[in-house]
Amino acid sequence: MARHYFGTDGIRGTVGQSPITPDFILRLAHAVGRVLKTKEAHPTVLIGKDTRISGYMLESALESGFNSAGVDVVLLGPVPTPAVAYLTRAQRASLGVVISASHNPFADNGIKFFSAQGKKLSDAWEETVESTLLEDPVWVDSAALGKTRRLNDAAGRYIEFCKSTFSNDLTLKGLKIVVDGAHGAAYQIAPKVFHELGAEVFAIGCAPDGLNINKGVGATHPEALVQAVKDQGAHYGIALDGDADRLQVVDASGRLFNGDELLYLMVSDRLARDEAVPGVVGTLMTNLAVEVAIKQRGVQFARAKVGDRYVLEVLHEKGWLLGGEGSGHLLALDKHTTGDGLVSALQVLQAVVGSGQTLAQLLGDITLYPQTLINVRLSAGFDWQGHQPLWDAAKAVENELGETGRVLIRASGTEPLVRVMVEARDALQAQQCAESIAATLS
């Protein structure tokens, strides 16, 4: 069956509008609880959240829904999404639940789930939940109701986990680092991780009020980090998003390094330490320069659909460990089961400290190709996929670029838009080629 509520990353929307309402979230938790009880007599779920004011309301609804189905609940409080994945596995829980809308503004919120192994759940599992939602609830009797408790040291356990992914032989002493928590889930945790590894830490975006998550700070607004790094005379800046699963890095000069560059750095660092890297997964949007550079190092490269969920799928399919997106979702599956902004930042800093070189020096042999992205708004009912002039123009551009560039045309998943992207070694050529393709849709 087609999923009605679940998207590519759980269920997300504007609070107070379907499906992000307390009555639906209660029914959702009850349905999930019933699904869990088909496999396990006494399930336990962990619930973590970011700092949105709506998190209190949705947490209560989830708790009630799970308890009503006879499922025990452990509340983690505000912790990063990857912390929920880790703690679900470490606590031997049946399921992990995250209340977050990631990099979206505070008025949005969402629910996503992790399996007992700390991994994203399958489409089939989500379809089973949606089928159960269509059934009448089955309330357990009073003696069988679930109970709720709080894991008071959840943040401390996750901090120790993050630190364990950094080499025991290295330290961050001597580095001054600006940490931007996006007023989100890592606001307390992120500064402590870097401080406890020896860095001098200056924090911004670490004063949430329930309404300011991602507002002008964090990985989606790196200009705040760039300025803070310059003002503080810091060596590096680390920006996370609202749920701390994506990363942006800035160096002392104010240069911003995106996820594509950081992915290549992780590959290069492992090769320098004589670790095997059989293959790497990017997405359809991964910069061509990164693909070329990785292949030149003798490493296979594959592209997945846009979205860390799809990168994960290809990694599991091929048995590889490293993957990511330009947005800063990076995956190192020998360190964690899911994307983790803090763990990824530590992998980057480990490469810097271990090599004795700056980030710019480590990435000196790779220059990203210019990309031009044009969003074309379509009229209702327009069949862009059957529009032959579009494909004729795209073919002409591909012939012009040859192996020095590429064309990507895809629909937006959220708006009536077609995204036309052209990548080439020359920025002007990329711009002109993208415009020539987009013009066929106007």
> How does pLDDT run across 173-206, given as a tens digit for each residue?
999 999 999 999 999 999 999 999 999 999 999 9
pLDDT of residue 413: 67
pLDDT at res. 380: 83
Model pLDDT, residue 91: 97
Catalytic residue at 102?
A: yes
Q: What is the per-residue pLDDT for 2?
A: 66
Cβ(242)–Cβ(217) below 8 Å: no
Residues of the chain with pLDDT under 70: 1-2, 413-414
The pLDDT tens digits of the residues spanning 131-155 come to 999 999 999 999 999 999 999 999 9
pLDDT for the residue numbered 412: 78
**What's the rounded Cα separation, in Å, for the pair 18 and 8?**
17
**pLDDT at residue 1, as a whole number:** 57
- Tell me 122's DSSP state: P
CATH class belonging to 371-441: alpha beta
Catalytic residue (choose from 94, 102, 115, 344): 102
Which long-range contacts (C-beta less than 8 Å, at least 24 apart) are formed by 218-222?
218/103, 218/180, 218/181, 218/182, 218/183, 218/184, 218/242, 219/103, 219/180, 219/182, 219/246, 219/247, 219/248, 219/327, 219/328, 219/341, 220/103, 220/182, 222/248, 222/250, 222/256
Q: In this predicted structure, what is the pLDDT of residue 440? A: 94
The residue type found at 387 is: H
Q: What percentage of the chain reaches a pLDDT higher than 70?
A: 99
Q: Span 257-362: which CATH code?
A: 3.40.120.10
Same fold, 257-362 and 371-441: no
| Cα–Cα dist 212/409, whole Å | 35
> What does the pLDDT read at residue 414?
64
Count the alpha carbons within 13 Å of 234 in the hemisphere toward its beta carbon: 28
Going from N- to C-terminal start, the domains of the chain cover 11-152, 157-253, 257-362, 371-441
Note whether 199 and 234 are within 8 A (CB). Answer: no
Sheet containing strand 371-377, edge to edge, reads: 371-377, 417-424, 405-411
State which CATH number among 3.90.1860.10, 3.40.50.720, 2.60.450.10, 3.40.120.10 fits the domain covering 157-253: 3.40.120.10
Pick the CATH number of 11-152 from 3.40.50.460, 3.40.120.10, 3.20.20.140, 3.40.50.720: 3.40.120.10
- Helix extents (H) in 134-199: 154-164, 189-196
Instruction: Report residue 210 CA to chain centroid gap.
Output: 21
Beta strands in 314-397 (DSSP E): 322-324, 330-332, 371-377
Backbone angles phi, psi at 195, to 5 degrees: -65, -45
